[in-house]
Amino acid sequence: MVTIRRIGKAAVAVLLLAAAGPAIHAQSAPKEADSAAIKMLLSKFTDAFNRHDAAAMGALFAEDADFTNLRGASLHGHEKIQANFVTLFKGILKDAKRTDSARDIRLLTPTLAAIDSDDTIDGSLAPDGKPNPLRKGLMSWIATKQGGMWHILIFHEQDLPPAPAVTSSSR
């Protein structure tokens, strides 16, 4: 009898969690207006990068933002981030163009969101000045809503490794 009771309680718990799941997920899904604004933030990021406009890039970051590039170097504050883009756009990114596509947007609170986006960068140079191949990567952001506007608070970017070559033995 104890076993049946335990199974019954476990079944009820599973059913309650299954019923609550959509409600829990709905709370973390972005509201349409916030989702649109965050997608616009990503679009502005891409556009500013492709115009090599360091001032526009800096304006997208919160005052106390943290930026970590794909090599692990970190900067704090939108002024330092903007200054870094000035240098990059005069150097290794002077001819670079990028594409960005939102993979996932999750509203953590009404004023914080987590964003993952796929990106490609073409035309960049390695530190030694040689051309990089097309780079494919992932950007992970935490965005904050301040004064009704979304800004990048935490930014991490990483290159994705190339896909392994398909050989006849791996098929």
Tell me if 84 is assigned to some domain.
Answer: yes
Q: Which residues contact 69 (CB under 8 A, 6 or more apart)?
A: 157
Q: Tell me: the pLDDT tens digits for 29-77?
A: 558 899 999 999 999 999 999 999 999 999 999 999 999 988 889 999 9
Closest CA to 45 of 99, 113, 2: 99
Separation of alpha carbons 142 and 95, rounded Å: 28
Q: Which residues contact 43 (CB under 8 A, 6 or more apart)?
A: 100
Closest CA to 27 of 145, 143, 113: 113
Contact 100, 45 (CB under 8 A): yes
Tell me if 88 is assigned to some domain.
Answer: yes
Distance of CA 162 to the CA centre of its chain: 19
Q: Which residues contact 115 (CB under 8 A, 6 or more apart)?
A: 38, 42, 102, 104, 105, 106, 139, 140, 141, 142, 143
Query: Three-state SS across 13-48?
Result: HHHHHHHHHHHHHHHHCCCHHHHHHHHHHHHHHHHH
Tell me if 5 is assigned to some domain.
Answer: no
CATH number of the domain to which 120 belongs = 3.10.450.50
Structure tokens at 60: 């997208």
Separation of alpha carbons 139 and 157, rounded Å: 4
How many domains are there within the chain? Answer: 1
In terms of DSSP H, where are the helices of the chain?
2-28, 32-51, 54-59, 78-90
Tell me if 3 is assigned to some domain.
Answer: no
Q: Kindly give the parts of the chain with pLDDT less than 70.
A: 1-30, 168-171
Tell me if 1 is assigned to some domain.
Answer: no
Domain that holds residue 86: 32-160
The answer to whether the Cα torsion of 118, 122, 126, 127 is positive or negative is negative
Tell me if 156 is assigned to some domain.
Answer: yes
